[in-house]
Every structure is written in structure tokens, then in C-alpha cells.
């Protein structure tokens, strides 16, 4: 039986309580021993619900890093502090899972990659949509060459009216952006992973603030305050890869559309195509006829050897701890997550300047 890993949680807000803590609590080879948040009550509540007896509670993340008995740190703070805390944790000898996006800027993401290499510690980023049943099945098809060479793709992250009005989501200084860096990042990660293509060449992007000034707007989480809505309400990008493949990325929190899809992708290859709209569908040509196939998937989650099913978040946490336990590469590597951040930043830069941004020149 593997050893028990001691985990410290830095940031005890929504993503901690909605994803990380419930999923980690289901694993029998981890102990949640430290909880840090700038709001003490949040850390205390999380420790009481998920922590071991006597779990540490603090407001300064450095107090978690000083504990030499802690093996793993989860960084679940606003984007602006991802790099600072993750790098400090790696240098303190901890393995690190950082929530998405990897960092506020590409330079910070690159520094995180370098810190992981320098320290020899594992670093991963929380792109949990890779662990959905449809994602896992489509990835296996792509890896086996079922779609051939994928030369055109769309990354979908479109909400009609679902602007997160809590926390710092609308604060550009703390987050680095709006729907593009928040949910567009998931769709782009999924698409690049399916294509197994991490060499972008040129990026053209646009972003909009067309609906953010609306007063008393209809919204899934209540009306937003236009004076605090400092990020874009939608953003779009066209990415051309070094091998000539094209990716169209679409993201919005508020858009007048009925074409709503989030953390999905559509792929077109030389041997066939696939999309995740309303389920996983495959398409192509066989025997001089066109075909469309709807793939039946276990709605419960990813099936494991014991016959049980897990949610994407549960599977993500299990795979992460297993990578540490077996000293293997995490499913989401820091190098892959860096490219996502690099492209997102290029879309913002292109939108700001009105010019295409060339990468890796």
C-alpha cells in the first residue's frame, strides 16, 4: 500500500470547496493537514469539515510552506498569485497542483515550468475537463489516429448569460481577464490535448465589452455591477500552429446567442471528425457514404478497474496523487499548461494592438 501524503490547501474559497476538497477527501492515501486563506473563517470552516484532527489554520501561505512534513500543496487562489505561491511551494520541496489558468501571464507560467525543472518536484494545473468520459474516449480515438491529421478545430466556451459576480472574477488586475482566461482556458487546453499539438505560430484575437455596461442585466447569478466589470464579456481568437493547423477559440460570459457550449471542442481531421455538442459524435466517410455516429458513454464518470465510476474531479485528484505515488508524469504537464497561457496572452495582446502576434520566432 502506498504511503499517506500530507496536503496543504492554500485558498479555501469556491474552487477549493466545490472541487478539490470533496474529491481529495475520498482518497484514502492523503491527509489534509493545513488550510490557508486570507479570510480566516474560510480556512477554519474547511479545516473543520475536511482536515485531520489538529489541522493547521493560517492566513499566510508561507506558514504552510514552512512545514517540512507537508508533501503536496494545492494553490487555489486568484490568478495573480498563482505563480508566486506555486514557485515558492516548489522551492520549499512540495509537489504542486495549481488551479487553472496556470498564471496571469505567460512569463509567470514559464517561471513555474522552470521552477518545477529546477526543483525536481511535480507541477500540474487543474484542467479537470480532460477527465470527463467524453474527453477520455475522444482522446483515445485521437491517439490511435482515428481522425487522422487534425488540421482544423474549434474550442468552445460560450455562455449566453452566466457572469460570475462573486469574488474577483470581474477584476482584471487580479485575474488577468474575463471569460477567455476563465473558461476559454479549459476549451483551449482540451483542444490542444486532443490534437497533441503544442507549437503555436501566430495568433489573431478580438475582445469585447459590449454587454458588460448593462444595468440590471438578466444573469444566472444575478445582475452584475457595471462599474466593477473591468474584464471583457467575450473574446475570440484564431490560432495557426507551426504545422499549419488552425484553431478557432470562442469564449463569452455574456453573448446574444443560443449556440451555448462550454469546455467542448470540435475536431476535423483527414480520416474523420468529432464534436462534443450534445454528446460525443463522430463523422466521416466510409464506402463512398457519409456517416455520423453518436457514441454512448457512461454518464456516471470514468470507469476504473474495480467497476466503480468517478466524477471528472475525483478522477483528476486520483490521477494526480497516483502520479506522485508512482513517480510518473502528471496528466496535465506544466509545459502543456504554459502553451495555453502563452496563447491566451497572445489573444489579449492581439486584441489590444489590432495586430497578429507571432510566437516562438
The tens digit of pLDDT for each residue in 238-274 reads: 999 999 999 999 999 999 999 999 999 999 999 999 9
Query: Is 130-310+340-358 in the same CATH topology as 5-126?
Result: no
Give residue 6's pLDDT.
Answer: 98
The predicted model gives 345-356 an average pLDDT of 98
Residues 295-309 have a mean pLDDT of 58
pLDDT number for residue 308: 54
Nearest to 58 by CA among 72, 77, 70, 41: 41
206 CB-contact burial (10 Å; exposed 0-12 / middle 13-18 / buried 19+):
middle
Phi/psi for 161 (5° steps) reads -150, 85
CA distance 327 to 343: 29
Say whether pLDDT at 37 is over 50. yes
Confidence tier at 360 by pLDDT (50, 70, 90): confident
Say how many CA atoms lie within 13 Å of 265 toward its Cβ. Answer: 32
pLDDT at 309 over 90: no
The 3-state DSSP class for residue 210 equals: coil
Q: Does domain 130-310+340-358 have CATH number 3.30.360.10?
A: yes
Give the whole-angstrom CA distance, residue 37 versus residue 51. Answer: 14
- 212: pLDDT strictly greater than 90: yes
Q: Are 311 and 79 in contact (CB under 8 A)?
A: no
Q: How much is the average pLDDT of 343-352? A: 98
What is the C-alpha end-to-end distance of the chain, expressed in Å?
48
pLDDT digits (tens, 9 = 90+) for 69-80: 999 999 999 999
**Mean confidence (pLDDT) of the chain:** 95
Question: Taking a C-beta distance cutoff of 8 angstroms, is the pair 175, 169 a contact?
Answer: yes
Q: What is the pLDDT of residue 301?
A: 46
Whole-number pLDDT of residue 310: 79
Tell me which architecture the domain covering 5-126 has in CATH: 3-Layer(aba) Sandwich (3.40)
Q: Which contiguous run of DSSP H or E holds residue 235? A: strand 234-241
- Give residue 72's Cα distance to chain centre: 19
The answer, yes or no, to whether the previous bond of 301 is cis (omega within 30 of 0) is no
Give the single-character DSSP code of 315.
H
pLDDT for position 2: 61
The pLDDT of residue 288 is 96
Cα distance between residue 15 and residue 36, in whole Å: 14
Lowest mean pLDDT among 109-118, 304-313, 341-350: 304-313
> pLDDT tens digits, residue range 82-130?
999 999 999 999 999 999 999 999 999 999 999 999 999 999 999 999 9
Q: Give me the residue spans of the domains in the chain.
A: 5-126, 130-310+340-358
Amino acid at each position: 500500500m502506498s504511503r499517506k501524503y500530507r496536503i496543504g490547501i492554500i485558498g479555501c474559497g469556491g474552487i477549493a470547496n466545490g472541487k478539490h476538497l470533496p474529491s481529495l477527501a475520498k482518497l484514502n492515501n492523503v491527509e489534509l493537514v493545513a488550510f490557508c486563506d486570507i479570510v480566516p473563517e474560510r480556512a477554519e470552516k474547511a479545516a473543520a469539515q475536511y482536515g485531520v484532527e489538529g489541522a493547521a489554520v493560517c492566513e499566510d501561505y508561507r506558514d504552510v510552506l514552512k512545514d517540512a512534513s507537508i508533501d503536496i500543496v494545492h494553490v487555489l487562489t486568484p490568478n495573480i498569485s498563482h505563480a508566486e505561491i506555486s514557485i515558492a511551494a516548489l522551492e520549499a520541496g512540495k509537489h504542486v497542483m495549481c488551479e487553472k489558468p496556470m498564471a496571469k501571464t505567460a512569463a509567470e507560467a514559464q517561471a513555474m515550468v522552470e521552477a518545477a525543472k529546477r526543483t525536481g518536484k511535480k507541477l500540474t494545473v487543474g484542467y479537470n475537463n480532460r477527465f470527463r468520459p467524453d474527453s477520455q474516449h475522444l482522446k483515445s480515438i485521437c491517439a490511435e489516429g482515428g481522425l487522422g491529421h487534425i488540421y482544423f478545430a474549434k474550442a468552445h466556451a460560450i455562455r449566453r448569460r452566466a457572469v460570475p459576480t462573486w469574488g474577483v472574477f470581474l477584476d482584471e488586475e487580479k485575474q488577468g481577464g474575463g471569460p477567455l482566461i476563465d473558461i476559454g482556458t479549459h476549451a483551449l487546453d482540451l483542444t490542444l490535448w486532443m490534437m497533441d499539438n503544442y507549437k503555436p505560430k501566430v495568433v489573431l484575437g478580438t475582445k469585447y465589452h459590449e454587454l458588460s455596461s448593462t444595468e440590471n442585466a438578466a444573469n444566472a447569478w444575478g445582475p452584475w455591477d457595471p462599474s466593477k466589470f473591468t474584464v471583457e464579456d467575450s473574446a475570440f481568437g484564431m490560432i495557426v500552429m507551426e504545422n499549419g493547423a488552425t484553431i478557432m477559440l470562442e469564449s463569452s460570459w455574456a453573448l446574444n446567442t443560443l449556440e451555448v457550449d462550454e469546455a467542448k471542442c470540435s475536431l476535423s481531421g483527414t480520416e474523420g471528425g468529432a464534436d462534443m455538442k450534445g454528446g460525443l459524435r463522430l463523422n466521416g466517410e466510409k464506402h463512398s457514404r457519409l456517416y455520423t455516429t453518436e457514441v454512448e458513454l457512461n454518464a456516471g464518470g470514468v470507469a476504473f478497474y474495480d467497476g466503480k465510476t468517478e466524477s471528472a474531479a475525483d478522477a483528476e485528484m486520483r490521477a494526480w496523487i497516483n502520479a506522485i505515488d508512482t513517480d510518473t508524469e502528471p496528466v496535465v504537464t506544466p509545459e502543456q499548461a504554459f502553451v495555453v497561457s502563452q496563447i491566451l496572452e497572445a489573444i489579449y495582446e492581439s486584441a489590444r494592438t489590432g495586430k497578429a502576434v507571432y510566437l516562438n520566432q
